[in-house]
Amino acid sequence: MSSRERILGRVRRALADVPQDDPSYGEAVARDYLREHGARSPEETVELLAENLADYRAVVHRCGADELPSVLARLLAERKAATVLVPPGLDEAWLAETDTARVADRVESGAHELDRVDSVVTACAVAVAETGTIVLDGGPDQGRRRITLVPDHHICVVRVPGQVVSSVPQALERLDPARPLTWISGPSATSDIELDRVEGVHGPRTLEVILVG
């Protein structure tokens, strides 16, 4: 007997007490919880996102669409970034004003190459106001998961209010589970020393979020 059959057999014997007419998934799972916490206007939702991102030590900037290229140029200059990694589908116009050398992400570029890049600029798939979270889904303007992980400085552009939802349930509705997702809430952190939060471990130690719109 294979282990598969053995385990499934054990499960079935263990559940001998469960009746044939046990409630179905829909009947058994009550969803009395809220779809979102509190009622807010779209602008208030964006405010809350900014507040919660900052609370977990992300650096938040706000600007209009026409100002984005100059804001990006300024942030890269302030960081003294010599190179910036760019996902293949990022809007060309966003980086029109920066002198920082662009590095394209190629499938064959190894982790060591990524480690030598100073910054990375991406868009996002959705942002969650209540938790201060941005979600990347590997779309063309976000690139592979590794490019937002290995460099030490990540700038993420969120189009507001269109890409912002209030809550986790609303975010999941918008996302495609077939895509590899990365949910990011502030720069990497740890609570492993005396259960006290410290920012900056393996992921980018600086996360800047630009809310555009």
| Residues in 62-101 that interact with another protein by CB under 8 A | none
In this chain, which of 21, 25, 39, 41 binds another protein, going by CB under 8 A? 25
Give the shortest CB-28-to-another protein separation in angstroms. 4
Q: Judged by CB under 8 A, which stretch of 12-20, 39-47, 62-70, 72-80 contacts another protein? A: 12-20
Closer by beta carbon to another protein, 65 or else 201: 201
In this chain, which of 20, 29, 66, 92 binds another protein, going by CB under 8 A? 29
Q: For residues 182 and 20, what is the distance between their CA atoms, to the nearest angstrom? A: 40
Is 39 a binder of another protein (CB under 8 A)?
Answer: no
Q: For residues 187 and 201, what is the distance between their CA atoms, to the nearest angstrom? A: 9
Q: For residues 109 and 96, what is the distance between their CA atoms, to the nearest angstrom? A: 24
Give the binding-site size for another protein (rule: CB under 8 A): 76
Closer by beta carbon to another protein, 32 or else 66: 32
Pairing of strands 119-122, 153-159: parallel
Closer by beta carbon to another protein, 74 or else 145: 145
Task: Choose among 63, 124, 146: nearest CA to 73.
Answer: 63
| Region 159-178 residues binding another protein, contact defined as CB under 8 A | 168-169, 172-173, 177-178
Tokens of 174: 């918008």
Closer by beta carbon to another protein, 42 or else 200: 200
- What residue has token string 């589908």? 89
Q: For residues 125 and 137, what is the distance between their CA atoms, to the nearest angstrom? A: 6
End-to-end CA distance of the chain: 61
In this chain, which of 2, 66, 78, 80 binds another protein, going by CB under 8 A? 2
| Region 104-163 residues binding another protein, contact defined as CB under 8 A | 107, 110-112, 115, 128, 130-133, 138, 144-146, 149-150
Give the shortest CB-40-to-another protein separation in angstroms. 14
> Where does residue 165 rank: exposed (0-12), middle (13-18), buried (19+ CB within 10 A)?
buried
Looking at 40-174, list the stretches that DSSP marks H as alpha helix, in order from N- to C-terminal side: 42-55, 68-78, 111-115, 168-174
| Region 46-65 residues binding another protein, contact defined as CB under 8 A | 52, 56
Closer by beta carbon to another protein, 66 or else 195: 195
